[in-house]
């Protein structure tokens, strides 16, 4: 490889001959301050689950008015993933949000008496026919109301699942705890305990940002 060596004098003359242009550089908050990620070992799944349910990396990134949620699996997600026996009706790739560490809503999508610390869930599901993306706001359960379910955009590319959550859906909360999970649902409907946690990506919860 050729190397071009410029002496200071020649460099100064060259720069002096150039027209002067004023450049304004916008200073922004580092991307790392708006991103939280976690790694998880390969092969730590339960129930001998396939690689496309084995989380190896989870990430949440704040972009403008949305959170971009990513999950990387140990293997690519098939166009038509097989539903594992016995009687599994859905597979979920899930991001769990603990917006308030002092509360644990009881109920949907779990059984009525089951308390889970996640006030908010985002998941991409496969039911044997199609993929879907949903967000579940469980906070109304704390005051006797019903969970709020919202369709969300998502994409699957190889081993990566991505979903987009409008920050307004969690009231533009700036800081929270989050985690990733994969589930097998064996019941024909939600609101039951008919599920198995296949993998948890790293710690139960991580801090964002």
The average pLDDT across 193-206 equals: 87
* Res 207 pLDDT > 90: yes
14 inside domain: no
148 inside domain: yes
The average pLDDT across 105-125 equals: 95
pLDDT at 70: 98
pLDDT at 9: 39
175 inside domain: yes
pLDDT at 130: 96
Mean pLDDT for the chain? Answer: 84
21 inside domain: no
**Least confident range of 5-14, 124-133, 135-144:** 5-14
pLDDT at 187: 66
Number of separate domains in the chain? 1
pLDDT at 196: 85
The average pLDDT across 54-65 equals: 95
The average pLDDT across 120-140 equals: 97
116 inside domain: yes
8 inside domain: no
23 inside domain: no
7 inside domain: no
The reported pTM is 0.81
pLDDT at 13: 37
pLDDT at 17: 39
Domain that holds residue 91: 36-208
List, for residues 145-190, the tens digit of each pLDDT value. 999 999 999 999 999 999 999 999 999 998 999 999 999 988 666 7
* Res 200 pLDDT > 90: yes
Q: How far is CA 31 from CA 35, 36, 63, 154, 193, in A?
A: 6, 10, 9, 22, 39
* 3-state DSSP assignment of residue 91: strand
């Amino acid at each position: 490889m050729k190397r071009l060596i410029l002496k200071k004098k020649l460099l100064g003359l060259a720069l002096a001959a150039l027209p002067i242009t004023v450049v304004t550089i916008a200073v922004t908050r580092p991307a790392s301050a708006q991103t939280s990620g976690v790694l998880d070992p390969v092969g730590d799944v339960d129930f001998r689950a396939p690689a496309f349910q084995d989380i190896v990396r989870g990430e949440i990134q704040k972009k403008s008015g949305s959170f971009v949620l990513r999950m990387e699996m140990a293997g690519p997600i098939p166009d038509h993933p097989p539903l594992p026996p016995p009687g599994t009706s859905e597979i979920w790739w899930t991001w769990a949000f603990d917006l308030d560490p002092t509360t644990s809503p009881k109920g949907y999508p779990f059984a009525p008496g089951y308390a889970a610390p996640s006030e908010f869930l985002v998941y991409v599901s496969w039911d044997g026919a199609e993929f879907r993306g949903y967000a579940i706001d469980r906070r109304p359960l704390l005051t006797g109301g019903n969970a709020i379910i919202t369709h969300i955009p998502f994409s699957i590319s190889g081993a990566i699942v991505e979903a987009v959550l409008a920050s307004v859906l969690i009231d533009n909360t700036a800081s929270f705890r989050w985690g990733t999970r994969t589930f097998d649902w064996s019941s024909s409907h939600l609101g039951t305990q008919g599920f198995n946690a296949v993998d948890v990506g790293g710690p139960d919860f991580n801090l964002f940002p």
